Chain A
Amino acid sequence: MEFRPPSYYALAALIDGPLHGYAIIKRAAELSDGDVRLSTGTLYAALDRAMGEGLVVAGEPYVERGRNRRDYELTPTGRKALQGEAAALARAAETVSLRLRAAGGGAAA
């Protein structure tokens, strides 16, 4: 399965526990140091697909301070997929960093 940054960070936002849509967007921005600014359309498309693939489950809808909300939670399958993706990204980063060092391009950040 392929994760693009918005989906990756949207799912990563759920690592510490269930969150509603708005909280996922805020948490994803924090985790990515502001690089990923999810829009509502992108977030719900990602959540919809993730639910379809069993990576995320949705809780019951509720109203909080006049806002309609629903909490989303990572499933064990989703956690495993995220771990796999994180490991793949780490390997990719390491490979490139090693090559850069070997080529004398300086240490990668």
Chain B
Amino acid sequence: MSWDRIFDVALYAYPREMRDRVGTEMRDTALELSAGSRRRLISESFSLISGGLRARGGAPAPASKREMVADCCARAVTVWSLVTFALLLGWERLNYTPGHKIIGVIAEGLPATGLLALAAGLSLVGYRRLAGLAGIASIGFILAGALSPGSFLLWHSSSAYHLRLAASYAVPTACYLVMVLAPAARRRSTRHLAWLLVVGLLGGISASPYPPVRLFPVVGLSNVLLLSVAIAGTYSLAVNVWRSIGFAVALIAFGIMSWTTGSLPVANLFDYLHAALTTLAPVALIATAAARLVSARRGLPG
């Protein structure tokens, strides 16, 4: 592979806008700077990658606070709907998995599952207002099912429980409302639908009786998914802090659900993991993201 090509690949670390604007110029500068020095070629490649990641990390916020909030909400609720969709699928297949500790005791139902998938899919493609409507409808189905007289949760019939159940959906509901009322613009792309396929498969196989996937019911599909969200949020700190905050808000939503629906306090090792992921991880992510934003806004880099 030629160094032109290597630099072109390294430039993918930059946000698309900057790559389109000065990418060829940067590549040619790097080539000229490192002419005749293999060592400099290598260091320039790393410089482009690290510079690109920094540019993404300090990428300018959306134009206004309103857009910033809308974008974070959309990212958060997209992650939330994907994870919840996977868990509902597992629920449909197995009736009970440890993963359901995070959504507490909710009523199963195909409409809720289907609408959540629709909300996630529309949001991933970029139709955020429609996604918000589908998401609100899905939560409506979930709550209506959980509180209906036919629900097996009748033994949880106290009004305090109903309030806690409603509170546990406050964050996703608020985020969906923001998507409906003030959707952040997003370039449309069907490519991102692959995420729906991935989590759908995870949810679908989580109840499988076959050994390789029996790990999920043991560890808890929720822990597998939440750990993935926490890792993605941590990685995003270096790439796009706003995305990282979105992941953190999704984790907070699950944390509120866990604490309000009574699946916590913890009982075993995996519950401790669950509590850490939904309580400590988002706090750490948001604190780090805020620190990065403050440092990115101070002075010139380098």
A residues sitting closer than 8 Å to B (CB atoms) are 1-4, 6-7, 10, 20-22, 25, 38-46, 48-50, 52, 61, 67-70
B residues sitting closer than 8 Å to A (CB atoms) are 18, 22, 24-33, 43-44, 47-52, 54-55, 60, 298-302
CB atoms of B48 and A6 under 8 A apart: no
CB atoms of A1 and B299 under 8 A apart: yes
Interface SS of B by simple majority: helix
CB atoms of B300 and A46 under 8 A apart: yes
- What's the least CB distance linking B298 to chain A, in Å? 6
Identify B32's interface contact among A39, A50, A67, CB under 8 A. Answer: A67
A24 to B10, CA, bound (A): 22
Identify B55's interface contact among A6, A22, A48, A50, CB under 8 A. Answer: A48
Which residues of B have CB within 8 Å of A50?
300
Identify A41's interface contact among B32, B52, B300, CB under 8 A. Answer: B52
CB atoms of B299 and A68 under 8 A apart: no
CB atoms of B299 and A2 under 8 A apart: yes
28 A-B contacts, Cβ less than 8 Å apart? Answer: A2-B299, A3-B299, A4-B300, A4-B301, A6-B302, A7-B301, A21-B25, A21-B29, A22-B29, A22-B32, A25-B29, A39-B33, A39-B47, A40-B30, A40-B33, A41-B26, A41-B48, A41-B50, A41-B51, A44-B26, A44-B29, A45-B51, A46-B301, A46-B302, A48-B55, A49-B300, A68-B27, A68-B28
A40 to B49, CA, bound (A): 10
Which residues of B have CB within 8 Å of A45?
51, 54-55, 301-302
Closest to B25 in A: A68
Closest to A45 in B: B301
A44 to B55, CA, bound (A): 10
Which residues of A have CB within 8 Å of B51?
39-42, 44-45
Which residues of B have CB within 8 Å of A39?
33, 43-44, 47, 51
CB atoms of B33 and A7 under 8 A apart: no
A25 to B30, CA, bound (A): 10
